[in-house]
Amino acid sequence: MIRNRHYRGGQLRPSPQPSPRGRGRKIRTLTIVFSLTSLVLLHLLPIPLSASPQSNSPQSPVEISGEAHHHLKFENEFVRVWDVTVPAGEATLWHVHRNDNVVVTLGDANLRLENVTGPPSEALWKFGEVRFAKATYTHRAMNIGTTPFHNLTIELLKPTNFVADPSALPAEEAGRTPILENDRVRVYRLSLQPGEAQAMHTHPLPGLVVTITAAEIEVKANGKPVTHPVKSNDVSWQAGGVAHSIRNVGRTRFESLIVELK
């Protein structure tokens, strides 16, 4: 059998083959059609609402773990600590707080807070301030100032039940009165200049120690002094019923908070 042949002028000649230029034109045409088809299909595919920033609203807030300015710093069965930084001119997403919390401000910043239960508010949050918020609430924070808004948000997960009746505890502790107290926590501030010390005392409740400033301190417990540097904006867990003394052996002021959990 003879293939790819045709008659012309009384002679058997090979069938003409498409030129390379023609083949290239067809390939380009097919590529364009395929690309347009792909784009149409992509537009028809469903897109998750969570992937779109426009879907975030007071009615569809994210959990704290899904808010990009919140970073987990510490967690145990009693507390969960978020390190939060909102640069000047930025805002958090609408997010929900499902646990009572204590907020420690680590730098002056001007904020506008919007929430679903009331009108927005604007205020200067000052370095070292401590605030308490009752859950559950949904809000977003907008930094309307020129400095970063930095804080530690301490979620209170469950009571420690370390003592049967926390209300029976004396308010003063090593000569200090709490700067904040309610049915969940009591918060004390410690500030020591270089060479200054806090005498031996006992913390009847467990809690979280927040070091506001970097320093070098000597802690004496069970008759054994231990000297170590501490970092600013750091946290550590302290067991209840511990007796100790603290001395600032460095060259800078030492400031910390103890958030005792009831």
CA distance 194 to 124: 30
CATH number at residue 191: 2.60.120.10
Distances in whole angstroms, Cα of residue 32 to Cα of each of 35, 43, 58: 5, 17, 44
81-124: per-residue pLDDT in tens?
999 999 999 999 999 999 999 999 999 999 999 999 999 999 99
Q: Which of 46-55, 104-113, 165-174, 203-212 has the lowest mean pLDDT?
A: 46-55
Same domain, residue pair 184 and 248:
yes
Same domain, residue pair 85 and 172:
no
Same domain, residue pair 149 and 193:
no
Q: Is residue 245 part of a domain?
A: yes
Domain boundary among the residues 137, 156, 175 is at 156
Q: Which of 36-40, 126-130, 168-172, 198-202 has the lowest mean pLDDT?
A: 36-40
* Strands of 109-115's sheet in order across: 62-63, 95-97, 137-143, 109-115, 121-125
Q: Is residue 37 part of a domain?
A: no
169-196: per-residue pLDDT in tens?
988 888 889 999 999 999 999 999 999 9
pTM over 0.85: no
Q: Is residue 105 part of a domain?
A: yes
Q: Is residue 250 part of a domain?
A: yes
Q: Is residue 15 part of a domain?
A: no
> Could you tell me the residue range of the domain that residue 174 belongs to?
166-261
Same domain, residue pair 74 and 150:
yes
Same domain, residue pair 122 and 209:
no
Q: Is residue 201 part of a domain?
A: yes
Buried b (16+ CB within 10 A) or exposed e, 186-218: bbbbbebeeeeebeeeebebbbbbbbbbbbbbe
Other Cβ atoms less than 10 A from the Cβ of 126: the count is: 10
Q: Three-state SS across the chain?
A: CCCCEEEECCEEEECCCCCHHHHHHHHHHHHHHHHHHHHHHHHHCCCCHHHCHHHCECCECEEHHHCCCEEEEEECCCEEEEEEEECCCCECCCEEECCCEEEEECCCEEEEEEECCCCCEEEEECCCCEEEECCCEEEEEEECCCCCEEEEEEEECCCCCCCCCHHHCCCCECCECCCEECCCEEEEEEEECCCCEEEEEEECCCEEEEECCCEEEEEEECCEEEEEEECCCEEEEECCCEEEEEEECCCCCEEEEEEEEC
